[in-house]
Amino acid sequence: MILELKEIEKSFGEKKVLTGVSFKAEGGKAFGLLGRNGAGKTTAIRILMDVFPANSGEVFLDGSPIDYDKVAMGYLPEERGLYPKKIIIDQLTYFAELKGMSKKEAVKSIDYWLERLDMTEYRNRRLDTLSKGNQQKIQLITALAHDPDIIILDEPFSGLDPVNALLLKDVVKEQIAKGKIVLFSSHQMNYIEEFCDSIAILNEGKVVLHGELRDIKRDYPRDRLIIRTETPDKIIADFGTSCTKTEDGDLMLRLTDASEKRTVMTQLVENYDIDEVKVFEPSLNDIFVEFAGDSI
Amino acid sequence: MKQFGKILKFELKYYFKNKVFVGVTVFLVLVIAIVMFFPRFKTFFKPDGAAEELPIMLVKADESTQADMLKQAFTEAFTDYKVQITNEDNSVIKEKITSDEVYCAFVMTSPTTYTYYVNNLSMSDMNTGIASGVLQHIYMMNAMIGSGMAIDQVTDVMNIQVIGEVENLGKNQMENFFYTYIMVFALYMVILLYGQMVATNVATEKSSRAMELLITSAKPTSMMFGKVIASCLAGLIQIAAIFGSALVLYKLNKSYWGDNMIIESIFNIPPELLVYMLVFFILGFLIYAFMYGAVGSTASKLEDINTSVMPITMLFVIAFIVVVFSMSAGNVDNTLMKVCSFIPLTSPMSMFTRIAMSTVSLYEIAISIVILIVSTIGIGFISAKIYRVGVLMYGTTPKISAIIKAIRKA
């Protein structure tokens, strides 16, 4: 399964929210939609889910325009919200039924998920009697109970303690293994880095970076070296301003060209007391700040 | 369609599990039960024979104003009072009235002039009218006797009975007044109450962000129609419960009520009028509930609801006032009512009132109903559009122009 957004444009009144947004997400892999607050992530998700139409552009599934009657989608909105005063099993059943399940199927599936997420004891309680983290888990069930083909999780880890985060990770991995399209939207780069094979970074309504995370990292200019040494001051003195200290005490040496990498590395090892020298590989966080941060 | 059914069921359940909804219904039924059983209790507490103490009416008259004759005439005319002749001072009489010892007093100043003393002049106090009639009667009799007529002759002349018959070709407004009034008032109450409930319901979903999920799970039209029709059904069921229990309770206590014209007329509504009542009730309910729902979706906080729904409520109150004033003026066919009976937002009340209290041709009714149905459906779809746009607008409540713009763009 391949989900593809092509050249999506959207404005609200005079304000242009999305400009030529295109990206592709594949089944069996997790996709990360990144961007700062107000970059247009939620709007893109809403268009993807047919909450409102785009001004132009289209959403494709496996090459043909998506048919919303046939594709089941699960959604965990960033703004969490269910009926606070209603019994949990009642509202979960309602939402699953709205997604087209029969009552019997819905109850069966929900009971499975309550069990899976260790929430069975809350089945007949009112939602507002639960802690925030547990409400979050209930919310997750609304996104998964009807066994959707496409799962959209907006900031799924926010508000979860480490144990629950681990549980959620397992669940998400399970879904990915089942071949579903899992679309993440998050600011928490460590989770995205752990899960997502491909990403798209939105900045001010435009896709500024899109592709396989591995390729993005590989294509990143390999013109920086990380040096761990006992004698940093000496190196700094010799290399001047191109060498800076990083936060964890290592040195970062910026080369004038990536091609002189080998020469410089040999030179370093021969002339200084070096513990370790390696090519700098940016973390997703670095990449994100670089691509999404320029409008600060 | 499948979604619509599920939403309808879910929303209906909301009403029947709502403690306020159930509580109000039970309370109203209880009140009606007390009212209906009241005559039975009254006879229970007052065993036969112990005649009720009649309020005392004093008449102050001297020889020149024929005290004896007055006493007889007043006693005949005021059967609800115990008439007593007095010679006490005016201040003593006033004292007795203010201390509730006696109810009222007529102080004669000449055979044809008097002062009426009463503590609180009630609106239905007809005593002066009756007294004037009695005095006029006595004066005329005296005059006739004085001019030489025989007493028998005078009595014959004065007691002549005029026999007249009324043949009503249209509606009897007097009889229809009460149930029309009850129906219009019920419509008014139910629309205001349920309209608010629909608006609050939508705004609650919005503010609890349950909307985020709903809007991605169901079509806005299904949501809107499901919600509104569920509230309409809940309203009808509530009314049916209240009026149904009233009818049953009345039947149980019928013998104790005697011939109460008003109550009789309420429970004897002609069947075709009941059908019209149902039609206008449902359509009127829906058209307003749609608007309330749409307004609810634009409010960003629950507290804003009251101000947001104000324009609709005002419109509705004006429609209600026009109808009630025309009804009490006894002219339900005035130009304003005629115009109102074709305008969708006012026609449920005004057209029904005209049908009930006057004669309206069938084609006029048909036109009014068709206009109402078409605009109800139209407003239903427009409000679903507003709903879809409105529920995703957080922050300040948007201006009307912004909403219209957003709907056009959507």
A139-169: pLDDT as tens digits: 999 999 999 999 999 888 888 888 888 899 8
Q: What is the residue-averaged pLDDT of chain A?
A: 86
Are B266 and B182 within 8 A, CB to CB?
Answer: yes
187-206 in B: which are within 8 Å (CB) of A? 205
Q: Phi/psi of residue B398, each to 5°?
A: -70, 155
Lowest mean pLDDT among B48-62, B123-137, B233-247: B48-62
Give CB contacts under 8 A, 24+ apart, made by B314-317. Answer: B315/B345, B316/B188, B316/B191, B316/B192, B316/B195, B316/B288, B316/B345
- Model's pTM, two decimal places? 0.75
pLDDT of residue A181: 92
Residues from chain A contacting residue B208 (CB–CB below 8 Å) = 81-84
pLDDT of residue A294: 61
> For residues B151, B153, B156 and B159, what is the CA-based torsion angle, rounded to 10 degrees?
-50
Give B209→chain A minimum CA distance, Å: 4
Give A165→chain B minimum CA distance, Å: 22
330-389 in B: which are within 8 Å (CB) of A? 388
Q: What is the residue-averaged pLDDT of chain B?
A: 83
Does residue A96 have a pLDDT over 70?
yes
Interface contact B10, partner A, CB < 8 A: yes
% pLDDT > 70, chain A: 99
Kindly identify which residue of chain B lies nearest to residue A43, measuring between CA atoms: B392
Are A227 and A236 within 8 A, CB to CB?
Answer: no
Return d(Cα B353, Cα B333) in angstroms, integer: 9
Residues from chain B contacting residue A142 (CB–CB below 8 Å) = 213
95-124 in A: which are within 8 Å (CB) of B? 95, 97-100
Give A149→chain B minimum CA distance, Å: 14
Are B178 and B186 within 8 A, CB to CB?
Answer: no
Tens-digit pLDDT profile for residues A275-294: 888 888 888 888 888 787 76
pLDDT of residue A197: 87
DSSP code per residue over B246-314: HHHHHHHTHHHH-S-HHHHHHTT--HHHHHHHHHHHHHHHHHHHHHHHHHHHH-SSGGGHHHHHHHHHH
A43, A52, A93, A99, best to mutate vs chain B, most B CBs in 10 Å: A52
- Of A52, A79, A94, Cβ closest to residue B212: A79
Return d(Cα B343, Cα A280) in angstroms, integer: 75
User: Which of A137, A139, A204 lies closest to A170 in space, CA to CA?
Assistant: A137
Tell me whether residues A94 and B10 touch, CB distance under 8 A: yes
Residue ranges of alpha helices (H) inside B126-219 are 127-146, 151-158, 173-207, 210-217
Are A179 and A27 within 8 A, CB to CB?
Answer: yes
Tens-digit pLDDT profile for residues B145-203: 888 888 888 888 877 888 888 787 767 667 778 878 888 888 888 888 888 888 988 88
Sheet holding A243-245, edge to edge: A243-245, A251-254, A224-229, A274-279
- Of B2, B213, B405, Cβ closest to residue A95: B213
Interface contact B2, partner A, CB < 8 A: yes
A47, A95, A135, best to mutate vs chain B, most B CBs in 10 Å: A95
Give B208→chain A minimum CA distance, Å: 5
Tell me whether residues B6 and A98 touch, CB distance under 8 A: yes
CA B123 to mean position of chain CA atoms: 18
Lowest mean pLDDT among A187-196, A212-221, B62-71, B82-91: B62-71
Return d(Cα A17, Cα A54) in angstroms, integer: 10
Instruction: Scan for tokens 């979960």, then name that residue.
Output: A92
Q: Which two tokens stand for residue A114?
A: 């309550």
Tell me whether residues A51 and B392 touch, CB distance under 8 A: yes
What SS3 state is found at A170?
A: helix
pLDDT of residue A296: 43
Give A61→chain B minimum CA distance, Å: 18
Interface contact B210, partner A, CB < 8 A: yes
Q: Are strands A224-229 and A30-35 parallel, antiparallel or unpaired?
A: unpaired
CA B19 to mean position of chain CA atoms: 27
pLDDT of residue B396: 59
Does residue B271 have a pLDDT over 50?
yes
- Of B2, B213, B402, Cβ closest to residue A81: B213
Taking residue A72's Cβ as centre, other Cβ atoms within 10 Å add up to: 15
User: Which of A73, A143, A141, A81 lies closest to B211 in space, CA to CA?
Assistant: A81
Does residue B403 have a pLDDT over 80?
no
Return d(Cα A225, Cα A281) in angstroms, integer: 9
Does residue A207 have a pLDDT over 90?
no
Q: Is the ipTM of this complex over 0.90?
A: no
Interface contact A57, partner B, CB < 8 A: no
**CA distances in angstroms from A240 to A65, A225, A251, A294, listed in the order given:** 57, 15, 12, 27
Tell me whether residues B215 and A51 touch, CB distance under 8 A: yes
pLDDT of residue B397: 59
Cβ burial of A152 (10 Å; 0-12, 13-18, 19+) is buried
130-149 in A: which are within 8 Å (CB) of B? 142
A vs B: CB pairs below 8 A = 56
User: Which of B55, B256, B273, B289 lies closest to B190 in space, CA to CA?
Assistant: B289
